[in-house]
Each structure stands twice: as structure tokens, then as C-alpha cells.
Amino acid sequence: MTRTGLTAVVVGGLIVAGGLAFFISPLASSSPDGLERVATDEGFIDTAQDHDLADGPLADYGVQGVDDESLSTGLSGIIGVAITFGIALVLFGIFHSRRDGSRAEPPDARSHATG
């Protein structure tokens, strides 16, 4: 695949993921997740405590300060996609540069090949 083709696939995938995150995540179930459901069923949900990031800018799948719940959830989905893409891009860059460095031919091998 050419570099242009790869870029088009990555950008297209990013657009699709961002669109899904923005438009579909507000439609996600508001029912409790599995762990929360078990805690409710077993009667210990009242002992739950907030964690250190409970007041964070993206707590509870929303963006702090955005009053519209659907918009807040959609924006948090886009931010999540962007953060995940950024981390993947950095990791890909690290692994790609290591792979290229390990494939370099020793200087004397190139001189023998040209003869």
C-alpha cells in the first residue's frame, strides 16, 4: 500500500470512529454495567465510593461544563477516540523507528554488494 493510500485509510478510519463516537455513544444504554448491576443485586451498591478522578473533566462519559447530555457524551467519545489515536500513533512511531534501525545493513555489507 502506498503512503497516500495508507494515509487515506487512517484518516477515513479516524473519521468513521469519530462519527460513531459522536453520534452513537449518546444512544448507549443508560442501564447499569455488569459490575454495577451485581452490586445492586447483591445489596452493596451503597458502599461504593468515588475514585480520585470522579471529578475529572471526562467523568461519567461526559464533558464537564457541557449541559446537553447527548452533546457531552458525544464530545467525550470524540476526545476518547483522539486520545486513543494519539497513543497509537506514538506507539507506532516508536516501534516503526526501532524496526527500521534494526534492519539497517552494516556499512561493509553495502560495499561488498556494489562490488
Tens digit of pLDDT for each residue in 53-111? Answer: 888 888 888 899 999 999 999 999 999 999 999 999 999 889 888 776 665 555 565 55
User: Is residue 39 a part of any domain in this protein?
Assistant: no
- Rounded to the nearest angstrom, the gap between the alpha carbon of residue 65 and the centroid of all alpha carbons in its chain is 22
User: Is residue 47 a part of any domain in this protein?
Assistant: no
Could you write out the DSSP letters of every residue in 14-36? HHHHHHHHHHTGGGS--S--HHH
* pLDDT (tens digit per residue) in 1-46: 788 888 899 999 999 999 999 999 888 877 778 888 899 999 998 9
Nearest residue to 81 via CA among 51, 97, 58 = 58
Nearest residue to 86 via CA among 18, 37, 19, 28 = 18
How many separate domains does the chain show? Answer: 1
pLDDT of residue 3: 82
Q: Which domain holds residue 76?
A: 15-26+53-105
pLDDT of residue 110: 57
User: Is residue 42 a part of any domain in this protein?
Assistant: no
Number of H helices, E strands in the chain: 4, 0
